[in-house]
C-alpha cells in the first residue's frame, strides 16, 4: 500500500498555523503579526472601502469561501490587513495592566487573527491545489514577512512573561483539561521559538526563520516546475504498448495541451516510482521514465537544481536547533512527538530492516524468474520491478490491474465505499450540493449531516490531477472547528488521480481507492472535532499521531462488506465477482517487501539529514545519500527510496522534517487498533462512536498517548503492523 499524504493541519498554538505542504508550509507555519517594516497599517475606514472577501466573515454556509469573488490581487492586502489586526490585538494583550488570567491572556490570544486565518486557509489550498504565477509570487513575497511576523509574537518579552506567569501557577489555576493543555502547549511554543534566549540569539533566530521560509517556498515552487520539466515525451504510439486506449488518449491530450500535437506526454508524479511503469512493456521507455523521476532537481542538462536549497535548509535547521540548545534538528523536532527522540524513531525503523530485506529478496527472485522467461538475463532494475511484479501478481492471484479498475469507478468508490463506511461507523451522511462556488470545476461539495439530522460541516473533494496542482494527496481546513468562536468545520480532501478524457469513466487504481479512504480519515478528524479552542482543534496533534486516524480508515477499503458495496463494474453495475473480490483481498499484502523498503530508506534518510550539525552538512548530497543507505543496510539498487533527497517534498518544504518516520509509527497504532476493533465487532456504530469520542473529537486537547489508551485501553503493540504488511502471519 502506498498511501502517504500530507496533512494540512492547523496547529494553532496562539494562532501559530502549522499546516504541512499545502501552503508550502512556509506560510502555514507563520501565521502571526508582521514586522514594523511592512506597509500594512490599514485603517478601519480603508478596510470598509476595500472589496476584499477576507476582511469579514463569508455570508455563505459555515463561512465557507465564496471562490467566485476571490481574486489574486486580494491576497496580499488581506495578509497585510490580517497581520496588522493581529499585531494590534496581540500587543494589547501584552500591554495589559491587568494581572494575567487564563481569560485575558490565553483565551484572548485564541480570539485574535480571524482575518489572517481566513486568508491563510484559502491561500494555502490554492497555492497547492490550483496555483499560478501570481500566487507563486505572493508566496515568495509573503513567506519571509510571515516568518518575521511569527517571531514578533513568540519573541515578544511582555507577552511571554504573561504566559510564563500563568504556567508557573498552573497547579493552582483550577483549569479544566483542555485549558491546561492549551496553557502547556502555548508556553512550550514560546520557549521552543526562543523566548528565553538573549537578544543576540533572538536576532539570529529571526534571520534563520526568514531564510528558512524563503528557501522552503523556493523549493516548493521548484517541485511544481520540475514536474513539467521532467515529463517524458513519446513520439510513437506503439512505444506505449501496455497502456489502455484511455490512458494513451490522455497522454495524447496532455502532449497537445503542451503544444506537442501528435505526440504523447507521460507526466512525472511526486514519488520515485511511477504508476505508468506497471503497464509499459517497452523496457527502454520504462528506464527513461524512471530516470526522469529519480534524477530530477539535480541540475542535470541545465535543469532545476535543488541541491543548494537542501544544503541551505539542513544547515539553517541545524544552526537553529543548536542555538535553542538541542543536539540536532531531529532532537528539536521529535521532542514534541510520541517518539520523543530520533534514537527511538530510528530504532523502530531499523528493527524492521532484516525482515524487510529478506522479503525483498524473495520478491526479487520471483521477478527475476519472470524477466528470464521474457529473455532478459539482466539483473532486475528499479524500472523493471513494477512491470514484472504485476505479472507475478497475476500468476499468484489471477489479478489483472486493468480488469480490477473496471470495478473501481471513482464515484462508486466515493459514495458506495468511503461515504458508506462513514455512515456505518459514525451514522453520518454526505449530501452533494451544487450551489456553492468552487475554485475549479472538478471540485465537489457535500453537506455532512449527523445521525440527529444536524449539519456537522462541509466537505470538499478535489480528486483529479492538474498541471498547476502539486503532487500527492492531502487534507486541508477552510474553516477550523472551535466552540469558542462558534465555528463548524469546512474540510477539503485533495488528490492527484489522472483525469479521464471527456466521456470516459474515471476508473482508478486500488491504491487510489485506498488513498480516498485514508484522506477521509483525516477529513473526519477535522469534521468531528469538538473542542473549545482553535489551537487544539482537529488534526492539531503530533506528526506521529496525525496519520493514525487516516491509516486506520484505509483497512476498511478491503473489508469484504465495504469492498463488495463499492466495487461494481462501471458499465454493467455488476458487483465484483466473488472470486476476484477474494483475490483482491488476498493480494493486498503483495509486494510489501518493496513497499516497506522504499519507505524505510526514505524515512531513515530523513532522520540522518536532520541529525547533522551545521558543520556536518555535506557538499555532495548524492554521496551522502548513498553513504547513509549503505550504513543502514537499505541500499538495494532495485528498491530506491520512495523520495530521494533533491525532491523529498515532505521534509524540505513540508512539515515532516525529521518526522517522515511518522507514517510507520502511526501505522503501528492504526494496525493495532484496527485489529482490536475487528475482534470487537468490526464495522459498527458502537465502535465508530468510541473512536469518535476517544480520538476524532478530541483534537490536541490531551496527550496523544492518553488518547490512544482512551480508545484501546492499553499501549500499542507492534504485531498488528507486521501482520498488516504481510511480514508475520496472524494467529489462527
C-alpha grid cell, residue 125: 489550498
CB count in 10 Å sphere of residue 402: 15
Dist. CA 640–CA 636, nearest whole Å: 7
Cα 459 to the center of its chain, rounded Å: 17
Among candidate residues 110, 114, 210, 519, the one labeled active-site is 519
Adjacency order of strands within the sheet including 474-479: 6-7, 474-479, 490-497, 455-464, 444-449, 429-433
Place of cell 524487510: 356
What would the grid cell of residue 176 be? 479544566
- At residue 315, φ and ψ (nearest 5 deg) are -70, -45
Residue 493 pairs with which residues in a beta bridge? 461, 475
Show contacts of 301-306: CB within 8 Å, 24+ apart.
Answer: 303/226, 303/229, 303/230, 304/222, 304/225, 304/226, 304/229, 306/219, 306/222, 306/223, 306/226, 306/646, 306/647, 306/652
H or E stretch at 458? strand 455-464
Strands (E), 258-308: 264-266
Cβ atoms 562, 421 nearer than 8 A = yes
Check if 519 is active-site: yes
Q: Angle formed by the axes of helices 543-554 and 704-712, to 10°?
A: 30
What Rg, from alpha-carbon coordinates, does the chain have?
25
Please give the DSSP secondary-structure letter assigned to residue 427. Answer: -
Q: Do the strands 474-479 and 490-497 form a parallel or antiparallel pair, or are they unpaired?
A: antiparallel
How many CB atoms sit inside 10 A of residue 458's CB? Answer: 24
383, 459, 607, 637, 725 from 633: Cα distances, Å: 21, 43, 15, 12, 20
Work out whether the CA dihedral 8, 6, 657, 290 comes out positive or negative: negative
- In angstroms, the Cα distances linking 273 to 300, 353, 640, 707 are 19, 20, 8, 36
For the purposes of burial, counting CB atoms within 10 Å of the CB of 97, is it exposed (0-12), middle (13-18) or buried (19 or more)? exposed
Return the C-alpha cell found at 456: 456537522
691, three cell numbers: 473512536
- The answer to whether the beta carbons of residues 21 and 532 sit under 8 Å apart is no
| Total residue count of the chain as it appears in this document | 732
Query: C-alpha distances in angstroms, 379 versus 290, 415, 594?
Result: 16, 44, 16
How would you write 98-124 as a 3-class SS string? CCCCHHHHHHHHHCCCHHHHHHHHHHH
Q: Would you say 501 and 250 are in contact if contact means Cβ atoms under 8 Å apart?
A: yes
Cell readout for 632 is 543502514
State the sign of the Cα–Cα–Cα–Cα dihedral 601, 602, 603, 604.
positive
Using DSSP, state whether 181 is helix, strand or coil. Answer: helix
Could you give the CA distance from residue 697 to residue 524 in angstroms, rounded to a whole number? 9
Cell of 172: 493552582
DSSP 8-class letter at 471: S
Tell me how far apart the alpha carbons of residues 476 and 474 are, in angstroms, rounded to a whole number: 7
CA within 13 Å, CB half, 248: 14
**Dist. CA 87–CA 643, nearest whole Å:** 39
Is the alpha carbon torsion for 178, 180, 183, 187 positive or negative? Answer: negative
Active site residues per annotation: 519
Amino acid at each position: 500500500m502506498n498511501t502517504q499524504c500530507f496533512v494540512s493541519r492547523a496547529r494553532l498554538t496562539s494562532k501559530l498555523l502549522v499546516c504541512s505542504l499545502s501552503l508550502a508550509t512556509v506560510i502555514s507555519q507563520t501565521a502571526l503579526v508582521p514586522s514594523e517594516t511592512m506597509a500594512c497599517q490599514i485603517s478601519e475606514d480603508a478596510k470598509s472601502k476595500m472589496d476584499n472577501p477576507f476582511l469579514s466573515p463569508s455570508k455563505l454556509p459555515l463561512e465557507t469561501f465564496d471562490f467566485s469573488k476571490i481574486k489574486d490581487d486580494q491576497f496580499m492586502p488581506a495578509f497585510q490587513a490580517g497581520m496588522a489586526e493581529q499585531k494590534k490585538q496581540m500587543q494589547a494583550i501584552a500591554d495589559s495592566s491587568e494581572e494575567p488570567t487564563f481569560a485575558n491572556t490565553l483565551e484572548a490570544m485564541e480570539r485574535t487573527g480571524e482575518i489572517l486565518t481566513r486568508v491563510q486557509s484559502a491561500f494555502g489550498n490554492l497555492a497547492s491545489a490550483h496555483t499560478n504565477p501570481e500566487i507563486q509570487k505572493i508566496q515568495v513575497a509573503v513567506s519571509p514577512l510571515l516568518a518575521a511576523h511569527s517571531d514578533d509574537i513568540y519573541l515578544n518579552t511582555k507577552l511571554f512573561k504573561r504566559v510564563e506567569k500563568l504556567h508557573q501557577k498552573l497547579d493552582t489555576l483550577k483549569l479544566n483539561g483542555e485549558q491546561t493543555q492549551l496553557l502547556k502547549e502555548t508556553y512550550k511554543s514560546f520557549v521552543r521559538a526562543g523566548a528565553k534566549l538573549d537578544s543576540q540569539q533572538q536576532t539570529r533566530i529571526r534571520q534563520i526563520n526568514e531564510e528558512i521560509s524563503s528557501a522552503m517556498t523556493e523549493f516548493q515552487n521548484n517541485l511544481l516546475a520540475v514536474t513539467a520539466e521532467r515529463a517524458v515525451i513519446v513520439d510513437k504510439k506503439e512505444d506505449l504498448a501496455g497502456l489502455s486506449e484511455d490512458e494513451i488518449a490522455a497522454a495524447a491530450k496532455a502532449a497537445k495541451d503542451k503544444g506537442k500535437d501528435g505526440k504523447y506526454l507521460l507526466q512525472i508524479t511526486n514519488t520515485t516510482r511511477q504508476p505508468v511503469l506497471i503497464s509499459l512493456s517497452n523496457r527502454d521507455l520504462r528506464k527513461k521514465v524512471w530516470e526522469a523521476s529519480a534524477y530530477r532537481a539535480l541540475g542535470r542538462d541545465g535543469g532545476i537544481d535543488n541541491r543548494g536549497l537542501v544544503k541551505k535548509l539542513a544547515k539553517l535547521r541545524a544552526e537553529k536547533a543548536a542555538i535553542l540548545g538541542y543536539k540536532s534538528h531531529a532532537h528539536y523536532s521529535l521532542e514534541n512527538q510520541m517518539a520523543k527522540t530520533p534514537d527511538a524513531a530510528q530504532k523502530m525503523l531499523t528493527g524492521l530492516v532484516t525482515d524487510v530485506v529478506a522479503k525483498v529478496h524473495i520478491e526479487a527472485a520471483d521477478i527475476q524468474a519472470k524477466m528470464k522467461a521474457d529473455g532478459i538475463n539482466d539483473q532486475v532494475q528499479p524500472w523493471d520491478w513494477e512491470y514484472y511484479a504485476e505479472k507475478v501478481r497475476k500468476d499468484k492471484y489471477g489479478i489483472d490491474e486493468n480488469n480490477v479498475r473496471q470495478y473501481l469507478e471513482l464515484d462508486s468508490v466515493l459514495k458506495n465505499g468511503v461515504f458508506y463506511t462513514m455512515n456505518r461507523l459514525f451514522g453520518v451522511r454526505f449530501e452533494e450540493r451544487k450551489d456553492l462556488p468552487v475554485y475549479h470545476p472538478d471540485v465537489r461539495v457535500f453537506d455532512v449531516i449527523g445521525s440527529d439530522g444536524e449539519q456537522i460541516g462541509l466537505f470538499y473533494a478535489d480528486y483529479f490531477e492538474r498541471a498547476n496542482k502539486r503532487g500527492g494527496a492531502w487534507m486541508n481546513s477552510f474553516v477550523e472547528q472551535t466552540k469558542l468562536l462558534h465555528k463548524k468545520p469546512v474540510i477539503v480532501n485533495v488528490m492527484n488521480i489522472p483525469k479521464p478524457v471527456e466521456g470516459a469513466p474515471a476508473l482508478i487504481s486500488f491504491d487510489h481507492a485506498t488513498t480516498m479512504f485514508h484522506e477521509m480519515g483525516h477529513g473526519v478528524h477535522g469534521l468531528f472535532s469538538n473542542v473549545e479552542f482553535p489551537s487544539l482543534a482537529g488534526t492539531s496533534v503530533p506528526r506521529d499521531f496525525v496519520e493514525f486516524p487516516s491509516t486506520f480508515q484505509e483497512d476498511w477499503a478491503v473489508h469484504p462488506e465495504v469492498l463488495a458495496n463499492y466495487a461494481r463494474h462501471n458499465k454493467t453495475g455488476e458487483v465484483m465477482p466473488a472470486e476476484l473480490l477474494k483475490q483482491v483481498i488476498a493480494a493486498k499484502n503483495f509486494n510489501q517487501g518493496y513497499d516497506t523498503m522504499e519507505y524505510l530508506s526514505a524515512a531513515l534518510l530523513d532522520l540522518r539529514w536532520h541529525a547533522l550539525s551545521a558543520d556536518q552538512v555535506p557538499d555532495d548530497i548524492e554521496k551522502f545519500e548513498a553513504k547513509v543507505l549503505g550504513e543502514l543496510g537499505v541500499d538495494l539498487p532495485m528498491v530506491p527510496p520512495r523520495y530521494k533527497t533533491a525532491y523529498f517534498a515532505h521534509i524540505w518544504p513540508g512539515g515532516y522534517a525529521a518526522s517522515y518516520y511518522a507514517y510507520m509509527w502511526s501505522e503501528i497504532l492504526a494496525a493495532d487498533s484496527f485489529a482490536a476493533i475487528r475482534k470487537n465487532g468490526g464495522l459498527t456504530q458502537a465502535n465508530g462512536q468510541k473512536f469518535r469520542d476517544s480520538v476524532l473529537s478530541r483534537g490536541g486537547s490531551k496527550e496523544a498517548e492518553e488518547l490512544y489508551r482512551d480508545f484501546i485501553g492499553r499501549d500499542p503493540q507492534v504485531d498488528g503492523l507486521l501482520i498488516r504488511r504481510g511480514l508475520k502471519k496472524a494467529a489462527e
